[in-house]
Structures are given as C-alpha cells and as structure tokens.
Amino acid sequence: MKIAIIGAGPAGLYFARLMKRHQPAHQIEVIEQNPFGATYGFGVTLGGPARERMKATDPEVADALAALMHFNNKQRICLDGEDVLVEYASYGGAIERLKLLGVLQKACLDLGIALHHQRRVDDLSAFAAYDLIVGADGPNSVVRGTDPAAFGTHSYSLTNPFAWYGVAKAMKPNALVFRHTKDGVFVGHYYAYKSDMSTFVAECDAKTWTQSGFDRLSDPERKSAIEAIFADHLQGEPLVENKSIWRTFKVVVNERWFSGNRVLIGDALRSAHFSIGSGTRLAMEDALALFEAFSEHGEDLAKVLPRYVEIRKPIRDLFGVATERSFNWYENVRQAMAGGDVWDFTHDFLTRTGRVDDKRLKDYAPSFYADYMRRKNADARSAAVQ
C-alpha cells in the first residue's frame, strides 16, 4: 500500500511504525511541518494500561519509552494556603515530548519509513495517487479541513486561557495549585518528567483574564506575572518557554472518522483536553486501533475503516464524556474553589469526570479516601451531637 501520513506527532509516527513493522512492503511517507528535533510543549504523561497495550504490540518501542520515563504516584492539591497530598494506587509515567518523538522517529527510520520534515501540507492534491491518507495533523487538521462536511466536524473554543511552560528542575511532588488573588483565580499544574525538568501549565478563568489585565499584557509580561503568583512553589526558578503562547483550548469532535481513503487519528479526530493528561496515549491508541483493523482485514479499506471505528469509538466516546466534564469543571473553577475546604475541593476534583466515583476512589486513591471519609464521619458525628 502507498500511505501518506500527515503529521509526525505521536499518532502519525506510531501508526507508521506499526504498519511498516507488520508489512515491510508498504510504502509509507510521513509529512511534518516542523523541523526534525523541534516540537511544542515539554513533558507529557503516559498512563500504565496504555503502555501495557503498546508493549503487547511493539515491545521495542514500549521499552524504549519506559526507559525514558519518570514515574510518580503522588500529587499535592493546593487550595490557597492549604493542601492535601494524594497518593494514587498506581504510578503515572511522564516523558519529555521531544524524547518520545525521538524514540518514535528512530523506530520509523530503522524500518525505512520516509520522514519529510519542514514540509507543510495545505491541500491533498500531492497525494492523489496514495491508497490511504491519514490525518494525524492535530487539532487544526488540514486533512479534516479539506472536507469538514464529510467528517461532520464540530469545533469550538473554551474560554479559559492557558499556557504551557517548563521549569528547569524536578518539582516534587507533582502539584495542582489553585489560587485566589485580588484579580481573580489562577491554576498552576506542574509535574516532573525527568531529573532536571518539569512541565508547568498555567491557566486562569475568562473573568480573571480581563479583570487582572492579562488580556492586555504581552506574553513575557504574563510569564513574569505567573512567576510572581506561584513564587512559593517555583522558589526562584524562572519559567522556561517553548512556543508558550497564551491561548484557549479548541474542542474538536467528528461525527464521521473517515471519508473515502482519508481517515483521522489523534487530536485531528478528537482533541483531548490537557486536564485529563491522556491526549498522547489516546492518540497512540487510535493508531493502534487503526493498525488492528488493518491486521484483521488486510488492505480492504471498505472493511478496515468501519472496523477501526467499531474498535475505537466506544472507548473514545467514554473519554469524550470524561474530557468534557473535566474541562467544564475547569471552566467553572471559580465556583469549585468557592467552598474553601481543601478536602471537599480535592474530592470534587478527583471525582469531576465521573470516571471515578466514591467506590472507585477507594482503590484509586486509598489513603485520601480513608482520610476523607474519617473527616466526613467526624463532621457528621459532631453535627449530630449539636
């Protein structure tokens, strides 16, 4: 098969690798607008079950990724002056995005896949002779944009502005810091992804954006303001930038996942909000599902593409609901913070997507669950006495 993959992010590279590894005769080209060795952002998290599925399919790549990961199971939830340390039952892994792409690029090059960097695709005319065109080109997908009606694309922007920074040290433990200032509410989310680097995502709500004057500041001024707001956590470390522009998140959903010989995977298919920390693995698992459909049905696109949807859509829909609940929780973060009690707030945060209820929380974050319930029972007893 002659396959063109637009976008050399985690989804596109992983799909290229799986297809070529399975069938070396495939002629696969990956086209990427960025230069080799460049990307946006810092470190990303990769969940355990996804890593196991990847290991079962391509152990070489899974092991290479695991060797570069930083594992952790603790997270501080801070609400103004108070905080709770949550210890999760399972460990999450984080990896530098550039390193992850490096592993996948090497895995592709080892198999003879052509990677074309610094080549932006603006229309699909150059790919008319290809059997399959894969849109792995992120939330602003050109492949999808060639015919939004065919894909049934719906998209809109959230209202909370955010920016993705780094910090040149391992900030431990991971933390989510929710803070009232005189100008509104700010959120700082950080986690270490290697021994000397952390990701730091800063966010505020729409009201704060204008009330605090952030809307009128330049990006360097915003960076300084965030450093001042979270100075106690940063302890003198400046924020590091990598295309760290303040923007709002674009929500993208498609009713149809393929049209003719064009198919969507990763953020091009459905953008995953960063608050669920799963966009990378969802993108790679889309690639895995599309590959599985090819393994089942050979090169018969009329069977492969519907099978891809059948395998993957139920899970994607579940995550879609969780993602929506999560970003809506953040869109209303001011209200969530209003209660003021860090324990109730943490409980609200941990159960915000609906995927974790009290029953699951007991296994998901056992010590937090036990402490929280003890406090609730004590409160109920003292209320009964009064």
Ligand X SMILES: Cc1cc2nc3c(=O)[nH]c(=O)nc-3n(C[C@H](O)[C@H](O)[C@H](O)COP(=O)(O)OP(=O)(O)OC[C@H]3O[C@@H](n4cnc5c(N)ncnc54)[C@H](O)[C@@H]3O)c2cc1C
Task: Based on the shown chain and the rule CB under 6 A, indicate whether residue 45 belongs to the binding site for ligand X.
Answer: yes
Interactions with ligand X, residue window 104-123 (CB under 6 A): 120-121
Q: Which of 190, 193, 192 is nearest to 68 (CA)?
A: 193
Output the six-digit token pair for 375: 């406090």
* Among 274, 291, 308, 372, interactor with ligand X by CB under 6 A: 274
Q: Which of 326, 209, 307, 202 is nearest to 257 (CA)?
A: 307
Output the six-digit token pair for 92: 């999450």
* Among 6, 171, 253, 288, interactor with ligand X by CB under 6 A: 6
The answer to whether 181 and 229 are in contact (CB under 8 A) is yes
Q: How many CB atoms lie within 10 A of CB 75?
A: 22
Smallest distance from the beta carbon of 292 to ligand X, in angstroms?
Answer: 18
Q: Rounded to the nearest 10 degrees, what angle do helices 366-385 and 342-350 cross at?
A: 130
* Among 136, 197, 229, 304, interactor with ligand X by CB under 6 A: 136
Q: Which of 146, 100, 94, 112 is nearest to 27 (CA)?
A: 112
Task: Based on the shown chain and the rule CB under 6 A, indicate whether residue 283 belongs to the binding site for ligand X.
Answer: yes
Q: Which is nearer to ligand X, 43 or 184 (CB)?
A: 43
Q: Which is nearer to ligand X, 58 or 137 (CB)?
A: 137
Smallest distance from the beta carbon of 2 to ligand X, in angstroms?
Answer: 18
Largest CA distance in the chain: 79
Task: Based on the shown chain and the rule CB under 6 A, indicate whether residue 31 belongs to the binding site for ligand X.
Answer: yes
By CB under 6 A, the count of residues binding ligand X is 33
* Among 281, 307, 312, 316, interactor with ligand X by CB under 6 A: 281
Interactions with ligand X, residue window 70-89 (CB under 6 A): none
Q: Which of 213, 98, 227, 212 is nearest to 165 (CA)?
A: 227
Residue ranges in contact with ligand X by CB under 6 A: 6-12, 31-34, 41, 44-45, 120-121, 136-138, 142, 164, 201, 266-268, 272, 274, 277-281, 283
